[in-house]
Amino acid sequence: MRESGVGMKTLAIIGGGAAGLTAAVVASLSVRKARLGEGGSALEGVHVVLYEADERVGRSILATGNGRCNFSNSDISQGDFRNGAFVADAVMVLEDVVSELDLGKKRPRYVYGQAVHDFFAALGLEWREEGEGRLYPRSGRASSVLDVLRGACDALGVELRCGLAVEAVEPPAGLASKTTRDRGSRFTLKMADGSFERADAVIVACGGSVARAMLPDSFLFVETTPVLGPLATDARVARQLDNIRVRGTARLMRNEAQVACEEGEVLFRKYGLSGIAVFNLSRDAQPGDVVEVDLLPGLRDCDVEPYAFSRFKALTKIYGHGLTCGAYLRGFVLPQVARVVLKEVGFDEDAKCLKADVPEIMRAFKRLRFTVEGIADARQCQVHRGGFSVETFSPCTMEALKVPGLFAAGEMLDVDAACGGYNLHWAWTSGIIAGSSAVARLTGGEVRSFPASSASAGALVGGEE
Ligand SMILES: Cc1cc2nc3c(=O)[nH]c(=O)nc-3n(C[C@H](O)[C@H](O)[C@H](O)COP(=O)(O)OP(=O)(O)OC[C@H]3O[C@@H](n4cnc5c(N)ncnc54)[C@H](O)[C@@H]3O)c2cc1C
């Protein structure tokens, strides 16, 4: 590790993923701005060190969006996030941070989340918008997002220390320390290899799965569960449809009441259900819930019967009295889907199709039911729900309320959202704020407090909210 000069302070960032890299870039920019303002050279004052357990930074970014990185969304609002009021307050501060660093224009507050896009534009990233407002780098490769972050880290002199896992962060003695060893006023990083490092401020950004172990037990923690993943269900029907993808509506039902509803892709697997619509439902699903897949979302319930009869009438002109149930569904859905759904409602595909039966057959496509057993494979989940309680961190700084100098960002905090670029948007947002605030803390700059019109104070944030 590079020796800090006399009076030089160290900001340690733990985790070189989405939030950590962003924090490192913004911290370095903030240092440069602070020093240039005082006529000093760019990186005197605070030394930014990023510790990454992996051999390289940003591997988690490369895996996102099927390798294309759906890094944000053009349509973001408070309601998209768990703990949305905390996110809304953070977004208000974000606008100021980004404009003060000259990375983007100051915009009206209702342009929700635009500051993140300004940040990436300032780093040189180009992108395009796809369905449902999803933003992807124009190159079509997640590596472009990582390239601009890593390039900025290099240019700004961030010290990247890869292959070094931090086991735990111990605040200065007396400040919520796990052990009461007297370490003076600095933070102690307990490294996985048994060594120790010191820092004057710390940003913890190592993702949701390892969050709990990183900070002292005194921090309020909401247990983490992997979400945004496939659901294991009763497999009888799903198994027969293995690998078939459909577009439809998936409703999550509990005691026959709807808990959540998603439109989009459903992928049947031998263990249950996958696909983006199901991933999103997994945020709320509990064992015993029912996922009801509607394969005909465009057909209202009241239109099912007329449609079934008109189709029957049309096909009897071709098949006459020889119309079978299988022939009735030919061209309507894949034969395999037809066979399975017919069996579900007790019809044989080779049996004669009777006019009186077709409403029931059609209705079956609107309500294919699967009982949830739980998350099918935690390794396929995109985020961890839970983390350090937002009640114990300031949304304006990402700083722990009771431990000055300790910051958290990204999935470490109890914030998550559905698929669509929102989770990365949160990682960038919280990383930008943490990076800027940590430097303000170390350089004696202004540490932000709640904006006067904060969402916590009941203000309107995020346009439609
Ligand atoms: C397959 C997949 C696809 C996804 N696709 C999308 C998408 O398209 N859009 C979207 O918005 N979200 C997506 N997500 C979610 C998104 O990747 C996360 O929400 C986001 O990366 C969280 O950022 P983070 O910085 O908090 O954690 P991470 O990006 O996970 O970074 C944490 C970093 O900390 C390091 N680390 C862990 N422990 C230690 C330690 N002890 N010491 C030092 N370093 C450590 C890790 O190696 C990692 O580099 C996807 C997730 C997955 C798994």
Question: Does residue 332 share a domain with residue 260?
Answer: no
Residue nearest to atom 9 of ligand 1 (CA): 421
Task: Inform me whether the pLDDT recorded for 94 exceeds 50.
Answer: yes
Q: Are residues 181 and 329 in the same domain?
A: no
CA angle 109, 110, 112 (to 5 degrees): 90
Task: Give the integer Cα–Cα distance in Å for 433 and 172.
Answer: 23
Q: Count of domains in the chain?
A: 3
Residues with CB under 6 A from ligand 1: 14-20, 51-54, 59-60, 63-65, 69-70, 165-166, 205-207, 210, 382-383, 410-411, 421-424, 427
Please give the average per-residue pLDDT across 343-372, as a whole number.
95
Query: Cα-flanking dihedrals φ and ψ of residue 136, to 5°?
Result: -130, 150
Residues 174 and 32 both lie in one domain: yes
Distance 61 CA to ligand 1 centre (A): 6
pLDDT of residue 155: 96
202 & 57 share domain:
yes
**Domain end: 318, 343, 378, which one?**
378
Are 37 and 168 found together in one domain? yes
pTM of the model: 0.89
User: Residue 222 Cα, ligand 1 centroid: separation in angstroms?
Assistant: 18
Return the higher-pLDDT residue of 416 and 41.
416
With a cut of 60, say whether residue 105 has pLDDT above it. Answer: yes
Query: In terms of domains, do 46 and 159 share one?
Result: yes
Per this entry, what is the length of the chain? 465
Which has the minimum average pLDDT: 15-29, 97-111, 410-424?
97-111
Name the pLDDT band for 111 (thresholds 50, 70, 90): low
Task: Quick: pLDDT tens for 273-319.
Answer: 999 999 999 999 999 999 999 999 989 999 999 999 999 999 999 99
| Arithmetic mean of pLDDT, 110-130 | 89
For 233-246, write each residue's pLDDT tens digit. Answer: 998 889 999 999 99
Q: How far is the CA of 326 from the centre of ligand 1 (A)?
A: 47
Average pLDDT over residues 182-194: 83
Q: Is 290 helix (H, G, I), strand (E, B) or coil?
A: strand
Query: Using CA positions, which residue lies closest to atom 6 of ligand 1?
Result: 64
Both 26 and 138 in one domain: the answer is yes
Is 393 part of any domain?
A: yes
Average pLDDT over residues 109-133: 88
The mean predicted confidence, pLDDT, of the chain is 89
Range 347-361 average pLDDT: 96
Three-class secondary structure assignment of 191-227: ECCCCEEEECEEEECCCCCCHHHHCCCCCCEEEEEEE
Domain edge (last residue) among 340, 365, 390: 365
The reported pLDDT for the residue numbered 462 is: 31
Selection from 48, 76, 98 nearest residue 201 by Cα = 48
User: Is the same domain home to 120 and 221?
Assistant: yes
**Residue 256 and residue 381: Cα distance in Å, rounded?**
27
Q: Looking at the structure, do residues 347 and 309 belong to the same domain, yes or no? A: yes
Tokens 């961890």, residue?
384
Who wins on pLDDT, 230 or 451?
Answer: 230
With 0-12 / 13-18 / 19 or more C-beta atoms within 10 angstroms meaning exposed / middle / buried, residue 420 is: buried
CA distance 24 to 162: 14
* Residue 383 CA, ligand 1 centroid: distance in Å: 8
Same domain, 315 and 167: no
Per-residue tokens: 258: 């709807």
Confirm whether 1 is domain-assigned: no
Q: Is residue 464 situated within a structural domain?
A: no
Average pLDDT over residues 201-229: 92
For the chain, percent of residues with pLDDT exceeding 90: 77
Testing ligand 1's pocket by substitution, the residue of 159, 204, 206 carrying the most ligand atoms inside 8 A of its CB is 206
Domain carrying residue 307: 301-365
Please give the distance of CA 72 from its chain centroid, rounded to a whole number. 10
Ligand 1 atom at shortest distance from the alpha carbon of 20: 25
Q: Point out the domain boundary residue: 325, 345, 378.
A: 378
Evaluated on CA atoms 455, 459, 464, 465, the torsion sign reads positive
Residue 4 domain-assigned (yes or no): no
